[in-house]
Structure 1
Amino acid sequence: MKTYFKKYTRYLDYPLLFVYIALTLFGLIMIYSASMAWSVNYYDDAPNRFYIQQLMNLAFAFPAFAVASIFPYKHFGKKWMMKLVLAVIFIGLILVHLIGYEAGGARSWIDLGFANIQPSEVAKVGIIFYLAGVFSNKYKKGNINNLNESIAPPVIILTLVLLSVFLEPDLGSMMIIGAVGLSVMAASGISIKFFAKMAGWVAVGCAVFIIPIMLFASDIIFTEKRLGRLDAFFNPFSDELGFGLQIVNGYLAIGSGGLSGLGLGQSIQKLGYLPEPHTDFIMSVIAEELGVLGVIFVLGGLAFIVLRGLSIAMTTKDPLARTLAAGVASMIGIQTFVNLGGLTGLIPLTGVTLPFISYGGTSVILLSLAMGVLMNVSMVHKFEKSKK
């Protein structure tokens, strides 16, 4: 391990490291700014409550990033690792249905006493590791386009994961996991014909289970809150004091920021008008306080990570490196789109957080772990390029 460390850390991807640290620290500052009034008024707690909690989350996230950065990514192609990843995913998803508690309209959380975890966040990252290992091995063996060998096992696994997350029900995470899974498959080297078949089988597999559930358990899936979010998507101003409250006040925050914003800490909407401003609507506070310049900083950083990952995926010759890089990049890109799409009214609200910026322990720790894997892939990729 010492030799490995010396060999590859010389090729540390400093731009990727800088952007990751900059985004997480910027997010920490904005969580403090966005949550002060909310913590005092609605939780009757100290104004730095969520800041301290996120600081503790980063105390786990940064080591997770560091360990993943030096952990050889090639282990993700080994059977024992794939089995371990699947075990962690399904244990979490089973436990959340048995002992999980409801928050935000979904039974998505498990209380460990000292911390709360969200198994769907684990599934987002875990499905990347599993599918990358499966398809890279198939590619190396030359049977990537074999119907029986390539499609059945991963399609079944992905369908079961999607079904479990749907039953929480966490539709936003389900959408992200499905899109990320298909992105890893698309980057695996599979032909367009077989990719279309796999995507079709995933859709059919989900439909077989989901449609009957939607028909016979519609009261559970189509709750008043979800229907309200759908109505707010089409016309948020029709119920601006009810289900449209978050979207309307998000619009007001974005519109009042201008080019340079009102100044850090000077948001009006966070004072009680915008619910939970430190979570999925934190970009509204950024736009209000720091203006277009603050938004550009965040979007620029996230875009850099996504493009860096896709660049590595397109230039590396290692199928495992390609699928891992594409999976991590697509996850961050898709989650960013889902968050900002809900905030701006492009898609219905899902409650999905903004990567590295929004408050959330499970999210920032798992994203940091995924970033560490991407860093390891980048270092090995740079080392291999230096030998040519």
Structure 2
Amino acid sequence: MRVLKKFFQHVDYYLLIAVFLLCGIGLVMIYSASIGVSITKYEYSPSHFFVRQLAFFFVGLIIFAFTLVLPYQTYKKLMVPIVFGSIAMLAAVFLFGKTVNNAKSWIMIGGFGLQPAEFVKLGLAIYLAGIFSKKQEKLDQFSTSVIPPLSIIVIILLLIIKQPDFGTAMIVASVAGIVIFCSGMRRKHLFLLIGSCLAALSLFSFLFSGEQMSRFDAAYDPFSDPEQDGYQLINAYVAMAAGGLTGSGLGESVQKYGFLPEPHTDFIIAIIGEELGFLGIAVVLLLLAFIVLKGFYIGVIGKDTYGSLLAFGISGMIGVQSVVNLGAAVGVLPITGVPLPFVSYGGSSLILFMASAGILINISAHVHYKQNQPVSAPAVRESHVKAL
């Protein structure tokens, strides 16, 4: 109990509050945004999606509490089974998965669906942070220290692309890139990896189907086909424009009633803009930015390489996914079906980010705990001698 008491004395409650504020905003806006869809699809039950998300929130809360108190170093010991378990889950999708929106990426458990690719993001961050922290002294040996984890990344990406889920694949690749970039790898090896990634991206662009290519047209020229490909983005523009600075009022959205498809998932930020205005969007963006920047700060000040790399990976995951979702909502990026962290409807996504937030706060608490430890006399003498 004394250990837990000391631990909670160093918990970053600002970070914790930011996470729960976003979850609260998400629950409220999911209820508001999904009323029309719920009534249409589920026999006049206006709270269908809200009730399901609330159930996932309580599951996420239990997992959050667990990851909050479990020392983050534990994951390093389990990194190999975690990453191979992630690969096994992705493989299981092709055997037992369900196809939703032309992607076979779901596994049904009872009446609920889970997306294994969501949890792979965190699993890969744990693995890469562990492997690169162990090989710090051998990072210049590219073939023995870098190629093996890269092969794991490639296998995971290929399994996700095969579903196909290019949005999640892009986020997974970005998380891997952030951890690798922060690992201390030599510059020439980084440039080699960047060049290889650009070449691979160019190659995969030729494999996009006509439907996938149409998403680029919809993002950059939605008004060329306002009734089909550009329909969703145009209605998102209408929603955010109607909201103005302060919004039309909570629950007063018009676009959620059959005009904007998936208003509670991919485009929930548009409904936030319509009902709460630019100020509502600003609050969500500031909370997300605070969590991401705080996570990177934790990584910078941390003395444990593994903890720092894991903090970078988690913060990068939240930041990149936020950018992909928001970029699609404003037409900067193609629509990929990626949810907004902590806010959009989706049980897998909410559980993933609550688990990740618990780990991030755990790392933060350990960093601040070590910073507040008194320096021993021998250490003081040693540093004094070095200074002389």
The two structures have a TM-score, normalised by structure 2, of 0.92
Answering whether residue 64 of structure 2 is matched by residue 48 of structure 1, we say no
- In the alignment, which of 144, 150, 154 is matched to residue 149 of structure 2? 154
- In the alignment, which of 125, 129, 132 is matched to residue 132 of structure 1? 129
What SS does the aligned partner of 2:107 have? Answer: strand
- In the alignment, which of 171, 176, 182 is matched to residue 181 of structure 1? 176
Deviations 1:127-182 (A, max 9, x none): 1011011011112xx11222123211110000111111011100000000001101
Worse overlay, 312-321 or 283-292: 312-321
What SS does the aligned partner of 1:358 have? Answer: coil
Please name the residue that 2:371 is paired with. 385
Please name the residue that 2:379 is paired with. none
Deviations 1:72-120 (A, max 9, x none): 1112222xx0122112211110011122111122111111224211011
Please name the residue that 1:93 is paired with. 90
Please name the residue that 1:261 is paired with. 247
What SS does the aligned partner of 1:111 have? Answer: strand
The two structures have a TM-score, normalised by structure 1, of 0.92
Please name the residue that 1:372 is paired with. 358
Mapping of residues 1-388 of structure 1, within 5 Å: 2=1, 4-78=3-77, 81-139=78-136, 142-201=137-196, 211=203, 221-224=208-211, 226-388=212-374
Q: Decide whether the 8 Å contact of 1:70 with 1:376 is kept in 2.
A: yes
Q: Which runs of 5+ in 2 are unaligned?
A: 375-388
Q: Distance in 1 between matches of 2:3 and 2:187?
A: 37
Code of the residue aligned with 2:75 in structure 1: it is F
Q: Taking structure 1 as reference, are residues 214 and 189 closer, same or farther at Cα in structure 2, changes over 3 Å only?
A: closer
What SS does the aligned partner of 1:92 have? Answer: helix
Q: Decide whether the 8 Å contact of 1:101 with 1:110 is kept in 2.
A: yes
Q: Distance in 2 between matches of 1:227 and 1:186?
A: 30
Q: Distance in 1 between matches of 2:230 and 2:220?
A: 10
Deviations 1:6-42 (A, max 9, x none): 3322211100110001100110000000000111124
Deviations 1:187-233 (A, max 9, x none): 122232232334445566x57xx94x876xx5xx5153x23322212
Q: Please identify the structure whose Cα radius of gyration is greater.
A: 2
What SS does the aligned partner of 1:107 have? Answer: strand
Q: Distance in 2 between matches of 1:89 and 1:98?
A: 15
Q: Taking structure 1 as reference, are residues 304 and 214 closer, same or farther at Cα in structure 2, changes over 3 Å only?
A: closer
Q: Distance in 2 between matches of 1:107 and 1:274?
A: 24
Q: Distance in 1 between matches of 2:29 and 2:150?
A: 40
Q: Distance in 1 between matches of 2:84 and 2:44?
A: 38
Code of the residue aligned with 2:98 in structure 1: it is Y
Q: Taking structure 1 as reference, are residues 227 and 202 closer, same or farther at Cα in structure 2, changes over 3 Å only?
A: closer
Code of the residue aligned with 2:148 in structure 1: it is P
Worse overlay, 8-17 or 184-193: 184-193
Worse overlay, 6-15 or 298-307: 6-15
Deviation at 1:44, TM superposition (A): 3.1
What SS does the aligned partner of 1:271 have? Answer: coil
Q: Distance in 2 between matches of 1:201 and 1:151?
A: 14
Please name the residue that 2:381 is paired with. none
Q: Taking structure 1 as reference, are residues 102 and 72 closer, same or farther at Cα in structure 2, changes over 3 Å only?
A: same
Code of the residue aligned with 1:77 in structure 2: it is K
Identity in percent? 39
What SS does the aligned partner of 2:157 have? Answer: helix
Q: Taking structure 1 as reference, are residues 43 and 238 closer, same or farther at Cα in structure 2, changes over 3 Å only?
A: farther
Deviations 1:272-320 (A, max 9, x none): 1000100010000000000011001100000000000011111111101
Q: How many residues align?
A: 374
Q: Decide whether the 8 Å contact of 1:188 with 1:322 is kept in 2.
A: no
Q: Decide whether the 8 Å contact of 1:162 with 1:174 is kept in 2.
A: yes
